[in-house]
Amino acid sequence: MIVFTEEKKFTGEKVQELFLSVGWISGQYPARLYKALMNSSTVFTAWDGDRLVGLVRLLDDSEMVAYMHYVLVHPDYHGRGIAGKMMEMVKEKYKDYLYIEIMPEESRNAAFYERHGFHVMEDGVPMQLCNFSNRI
């Protein structure tokens, strides 16, 4: 049985394992990743016993905009509705905000977000500044 929580009870090791399972470079910086998650506005997690199998991270301004940054599920758990359940938790928590925004890093993931009510911003263009010189 999968248990979902907003409580930040994860460890750096469990977070690293989850991020590396999906091939995200963030997993190579476990201390920084853990600190970033602990300082995030909201982190929803999914657990199978003591195994971290899913995570959603949001940053918000406490009133108008919430930015969803991470949505990931361990590959062993794909297809079980875990990401969808976490999306519903996000939409419920932020239902009074004017915007919930996401910038999928891979265009193939856009269909998932569209199934959950998101749509491509008209004339929107994702932008990023990579500062990889700070890899410590």
pLDDT value of position 66: 95
pTM listed for this prediction: 0.88
Residues 6+ apart with CB under 8 A from 122: none
pLDDT value of position 118: 87
Per residue in 102-129, pLDDT (tens digit) is 887 777 788 888 899 988 888 877 777 7
CA atoms of 108 and 49, how far apart (whole Å): 30
CA atoms of 67 and 80, how far apart (whole Å): 24
Give 6's DSSP letter. Answer: -
Q: How far is CA 1 from the centre of its chain?
A: 21
> What's the full length of the chain, in residues?
136
Per residue in 41-90, pLDDT (tens digit) is 999 999 999 999 999 999 999 999 999 988 999 999 999 999 999 999 99
Strand, helix or coil for residue 25 = helix
